[in-house]
């Protein structure tokens, strides 16, 4: 892995953390979770820099935010769910057209909603888990809309190298 890749992953992991923990999260009473803008940063990272950076920044940045905000019980699940979400969006949406990116984001949203739903059913029961679904869907939808606009703007205005962050030959 090149120094550039390490720096990008560190910077975007910090961005995910900030978007999740520093921009004031809104508590959700059903499970004690919270609504945040972290998915926006996960999606932007994944669409610009691909699956590996999306997975790392999404999983680690979001899990660290859970720990920082006192939601330690969510951190291991968040690491897996947000990491998978970032990987899926980056794998399918990196260097793709708008339609493919929307599909990639929708599949990332399915990972988000389904992943937390399964965890919340196990931890809090079905009624609490169902109560979270609309909030997770809202978090996905807002994040996806903002990410599409930001990525489109970044790609059209800046000449940056966002080549796939996978293994190099």
Per-residue pLDDT of the chain (169 residues; tens, 9 = 90+): 799 999 999 999 999 999 999 987 788 776 677 788 999 999 999 999 999 999 999 999 999 999 999 989 999 999 999 999 999 999 999 988 999 999 999 999 999 999 999 999 999 899 989 988 998 999 999 999 999 999 999 988 876 555 555 544 3
Cα Rg, the chain, nearest whole Å: 15
Residue 114: CB atoms within 10 Å: 13
The CATH T-level fold of domain 3-23+37-157 is Arp2/3 complex 21 kDa subunit ARPC3 (1.10.1760)
Calpha distance 124→113 (Å, rounded): 15
3-state secondary structure (DSSP) of residue 114: helix
In whole angstroms, what is the distance from residue 71 CA to residue 114 CA? 19
CB atoms within 10 A of CB 98: 11
State the Cα–Cα distance between residues 137 and 112, nearest whole angstrom. Answer: 8
């Amino acid at each position: 892995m090149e120094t550039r890749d390490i720096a990008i992953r560190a910077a975007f992991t910090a961005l995910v953390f900030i978007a999740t923990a520093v921009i004031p999260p809104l508590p959700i009473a059903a499970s004690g979770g919270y609504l945040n803008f972290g998915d926006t940063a996960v999606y932007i990272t994944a669409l610009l820099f691909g699956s590996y950076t999306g997975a790392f920044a999404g999983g680690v940045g979001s899990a660290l935010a859970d720990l920082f905000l006192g939601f330690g019980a969510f951190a291991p699940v968040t690491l897996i769910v947000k990491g998978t979400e970032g990987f899926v969006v980056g794998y399918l949406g990196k260097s793709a057209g708008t339609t493919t990116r929307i599909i990639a984001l929708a599949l990332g949203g399915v990972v988000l909603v389904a992943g937390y739903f399964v965890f919340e059913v196990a931890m809090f029961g079905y009624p609490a888990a169902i109560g979270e679904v609309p909030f997770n869907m809202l978090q996905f939808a807002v994040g996806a809309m903002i990410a599409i606009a930001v990525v489109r703007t970044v790609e059209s205005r800046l000449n940056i190298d966002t080549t796939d962050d996978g293994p190099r030959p």
